[in-house]
Amino acid sequence: MKQRGVVEDPERFKLVRWVKSLNIVRPWLRGIEKAGEVPQQGIGKTWLERSMFFATQTRQTVRNAVMDAWTKLLQSRQPGGQEIPPKDRGPEMSR
């Protein structure tokens, strides 16, 4: 009926989406009740470990974006549109 345009969004479809969303959120709610926070898988057990992981990923992402933009800028400034051969991307910035 939705495809025919008779009903915009049938109540049954709304109910199915609501139940699916509750099923997805249920483990998070249990984690909040038991531990006081949403459980994370594979990142770290404490908020400090998770924040350190996030900071490391952010640093690498920003570094790669800046290096790519810098390379494109240098290539755009070459006379005759010659491409600069890719160079070493510099030292790793890990601790």
Domain ranges of the chain: 1-39, 44-95
User: What digits encode the pLDDT tens for the residues 5-43?
Assistant: 776 777 888 899 999 999 988 988 888 888 887 766 667
Terminal C-alpha separation, the chain: 59
User: For residues 71 and 78, which has the higher predicted lDDT (pLDDT)?
Assistant: 71
pLDDT at 16 (0 to 100): 92
pTM > 0.75: no
What would the DSSP string read from start to end of the chain? Answer: -TTTTS-SS-HHHHHHHHHHHHHHHHHHHHHHHHHSS---SSS-SSHHHHHHHHHHHHHHHHHHHHHHHHHHHHHHTSGGGPPPPP---------
pLDDT at position 12, please? 85
Instruction: Answer yes or no: is pLDDT of 64 > 80.
Output: yes
